[in-house]
Amino acid sequence: MNFSKILHRFTVTPSLPKELAGLQRIAYNLWWCWEPDAIELFTRLDPELWRETRHNPVEMLGILQQTTLEMLKADEGFISHLAMVEDKLKEYLAAKTWYSKLHREDDGLRVAYFSMEFGLHESLPIYSGGLGILAGDHLKSASDLGLPLVGVGLLYRQGYFRQYLNIEGWQQEFYPENDFYNLPLHLERKADGTPLLLELDLAGNRVKIQIWRAQVGRIPLYLLDTNLEENSPDDRNITTRLYGGDQEMRIRQEILLSIGGVRALHLLGIEPHVCHMNEGHAAFLSLERTRLLMEERRLKFSEACEAVKAGTVFTTHTPVEAGIDHFPADLIDKYLGRYYRGLGLSREEFLSLGRQNARNPHEMFCMAVLALKLTGHANGVSQLHGEVSRKMWKNVWPDLPEEHLPLTSITNGVHNKTWLSREMARLLIRYLGTRWLEDPTDASVWRRVSRIPDGELWRTHKHGREHLVDYARKRLKEQLCQVGATAKEIAVADEVLDPDILTIGFARRFATYKRGTLLLHDVERLARIVNNSTRPVQIVFAGKAHPADHQGKELIRQIVQLSHQERFRHRIVFLEDYDMSVARHLVQGVDVWLNTPLRPLEASGTSGMKVAFNGGLNMSVLDGWWCEGYRGNNGWAIGKGEVYDDLEYQNEVESRAIYDLLEKEIVPLFYDRGSDGIPRGWIACMKASLQSLCPTFSTDRMVQQYSETFYFTAFEQWQMLNENNSTLAVDLARWKEKMHRLWHHVRIEQVEAEMSQDILAGSSIPLRAKIFVDEIPLDQLAVDAYYGVLDSRGAIIGGELVPLTPSAPDGAGAHYFSGQLDCRFCGRHGFMLRVMPKHPVLGPIYEPSLLLWG
Ligand SMILES: *Cc1c(COP(=O)(O)O)cnc(C)c1O
């Protein structure tokens, strides 16, 4: 019998007495997960249940017995705690914000932020790692800052896998079902109460989609879900797992996220001016926005696309091409064939949008290339990653010098209120006031960290370490029970780790480039370090390997096996099922955070920032954010940022550097105590770390930077291009067409510079160039000298542009342009001439093949 046919479905919601109804309102706004008083409120309801539900208040409210509820209703202390938290939420939602203080609240800006994953809290498991946590922190800071932003993502029925280790330490995966009715989600409905449904064509199938909303403070996050009875099993599966299926599943998910996401917003009446792609997964969204504009305003693809580019931001997170989605042409045809024809594009035109070299038919369709070609604003996630990305993608902008590529960097951050321990937050409020809560970017406030008495800072930090040790023992015990360990083995869990000794944390995805086992390179030396009788060290590991990554799983197995050896049993622990809860305990409790990526493969890294806010210190390879964070006195650098060719040799050198640092600097500094037992030198380092890192590495700073460099500009450009039925966008597209027609006539005929071999610094060189301009009006050409110091290969490094202005005509179609170079620095200089088209309203415009060097 097929039960699904006879089953009537219904939803039971908890019947809270009206005195407790506020609990429900708080539980349904994820604001609670960065408000300590709210967390305490839920813990107070039932500490055991709180833990068992993975800190899920919605589920907990559904399970609580009527008798408990009756009791709470009569508990005056509890009721006033509840009222206080609810007032806080109301105040939060009504408060003046950074954005409202900029007086921008009436400008109508709407930003939509698209991501495959969002890591908001462990109870909403629709994230896998760094990318999702960053997206979650982005929304939280956008909420705090009052930015008019909405999030768009997918609602996975099974999320990312959960991890447990078998007795050998081999990773096993399991996929518990998310019960959406026990999560803080609202189903979007029409006025008549029926679910709002949208349809999407996927390879000829009409897929029905419903939209859920999670409320993150002021920010709505819309999550799409295809698990509807009306859909075929295949289509229902699209939103089953995050990063679960094959390439075909991936393209289906990406189409759903991007094209489905834009349509969902449209259906909800939200027309964003700026769309932000968090990684290339969402790159198809520009196509759908273009299609909408074309339809609405009767534009051609090229015209609508100009406006869409201006209103789109792309953030890349991946420093290797292999890490980015590439689709074969047949998959593109299968899923987007009808779609691109509808846009008026030929197959070749469409495929070339995903190729670095438009004419190479063997290149796969790359989502990052598509994103770069369809956005006007792009960035990497740290300064170094910006450089790496410009190198990686320079072919997308043929003829531009690397440093001029429109691909900048905005370094990641963390939402400090989410990651700070309650005790640390209290301490900071006591000595810094509350200003850092509203504006963590104010460095002058963080300087007051020097006022915190050493003893108090140390006690607070020690509390975090004790808490971590407690938590680790509990988790370890549960882990052992689950795999059927003996009572004796389980009893050992009570004795692992020591709340008083130097504690190192290492947790992340177990991808090989992160080198999770670098610390294990010389096991004998490691044994001596951790077992030093007066100055011992302990290490807590956690992390998941992708289910298909056997090498990653092997690394985990090695660590677990090592931790079972007698000499490491008390000193090394691997915690299973790394999630935001494990992460919080770790970053709040460790003394040192170890980070060992192969430079430059860690685009940014954020865990070390979470640690810094909690007073922990970083020991890291100079990669990603740490290149910007490391100051010499606020943590440790492993190596000097070298890049090696020989991986074995590099591992050898860098593991030795880690042991040396530990033996010679870190361990002695930690155990060098005054008569009161306080390590003054260590605390000085903690303070330097807090003062130097906290003002910079928050998502408040990051979101402000995204707003100021991208969102506001993109909004202005979008409006300008779309005024009066997109007049300027149409004009721009036509103007570009004209330039493409005329450009191959443009020639640099002659360049004259009045110079001798030796030129004194401070003097200037007059420059004159004769350019054949044909029919192009003079004011539509930008002629610049690009000059600077030459490197050993004779290339200009970090050059500067000096504009030349039209001076005199020279016969038919040719014209002189002149200017002068100021020689401010000594050394060998060189210059080149650059000619670009210049739009009468928008200024110089870069277009591939519309650029002339001479
Ligand atoms: C912060 C965090 C990450 C990201 O860590 P990186 O240092 O950026 O690699 C991954 N997973 C969880 C659970 C986190 O909390």
The band of 404, judged by pLDDT with boundaries at 50, 70 and 90, is confident
Q: Which residues contact 49 (CB under 8 A, 6 or more apart)?
A: 60, 63, 64
Domain locations in the chain? 18-94, 98-409, 453-675, 746-853
Q: Strand pairing partners for 34?
A: none
Q: Which CATH superfamily is domain 98-409 in?
A: Glycogen Phosphorylase B; (3.40.50.2000)
Contact 417, 32 (CB under 8 A): no
Helix (H) or strand (E) holding 844: strand 843-844
Mean pLDDT for the chain?
Answer: 94
Q: How many CA atoms, within 13 angstroms, populate the side-chain half-sphere of residue 420?
A: 22
What is the CA(231)–ligand 1 centre distance, in A?
35
The band of 215, judged by pLDDT with boundaries at 50, 70 and 90, is very high
Average confidence (pLDDT) over 758-784:
87
Class of 453-675 in CATH: alpha beta
The 10s digit of each residue's pLDDT in 441-495 is 999 999 999 999 999 999 999 999 999 999 999 999 999 898 888 898 899 899 9
Q: Strand pairing partners for 220?
A: 215
Q: What pLDDT sits at residue 765?
A: 86
> Token digits for 90?
């109301």
Among 364-368, 745-749, 792-796, which range has the highest average pLDDT?
Answer: 364-368
The band of 3, judged by pLDDT with boundaries at 50, 70 and 90, is very low
Ligand 1 pocket check for 129: Cβ under 6 Å = yes
Average confidence (pLDDT) over 1-23:
69
Ligand 1 pocket check for 611: Cβ under 6 Å = no
- Do 98-409 and 453-675 share a fold? yes
**pTM above the 0.75 mark?**
yes
Whether residue 1 has pLDDT greater than 50: no
Q: CATH number of 746-853: 2.60.40, 2.50.20, 3.10.450, 2.130.10?
A: 2.60.40
Whether residue 730 has pLDDT greater than 80: yes
Whether residue 848 has pLDDT greater than 90: no
Cis upstream peptide for 809 (omega within 30°)? no
Considering the chain, what percentage of its residues have pLDDT values greater than 70? 98
Q: Strand pairing partners for 189?
A: 195
The band of 67, judged by pLDDT with boundaries at 50, 70 and 90, is confident
Ligand 1 pocket check for 578: Cβ under 6 Å = yes
Average confidence (pLDDT) over 163-182:
94
Q: What does DSSP say about strands 617-621 and 635-638: parallel, antiparallel, or unpaired?
A: parallel
> Token digits for 696?
């910079």
Nearest CA to ligand 1 atom 1: 607
Nearest CA to ligand 1 atom 8: 605
Contact 557, 550 (CB under 8 A): no
The band of 810, judged by pLDDT with boundaries at 50, 70 and 90, is confident
Map tokens 């020690």 to a residue.
462
Whether residue 4 has pLDDT greater than 60: no
Ligand 1 pocket check for 799: Cβ under 6 Å = no
Q: What pLDDT sits at residue 800?
A: 84
φ/ψ of residue 380, rounded to 5: -95, 175
The 10s digit of each residue's pLDDT in 574-591 is 999 999 999 999 999 999
Q: What pLDDT sits at residue 205?
A: 94
Average confidence (pLDDT) over 180-187:
96
Q: From CA 740, how far away is CA 742, in angstroms rounded? A: 6
DSSP symbols for 569-589: TTTEEEESS--HHHHHHHHHH
Whether residue 99 has pLDDT greater than 50: yes
Whether residue 145 has pLDDT greater than 60: yes
Ligand 1 pocket check for 133: Cβ under 6 Å = yes
Average confidence (pLDDT) over 753-777:
83
Q: What pLDDT sits at residue 10?
A: 63
What is the CA(324)–ligand 1 centre distance, in A?
19
Map tokens 């807090």 to a residue.
690
What is the CA(578)–ligand 1 centre distance, in A?
9
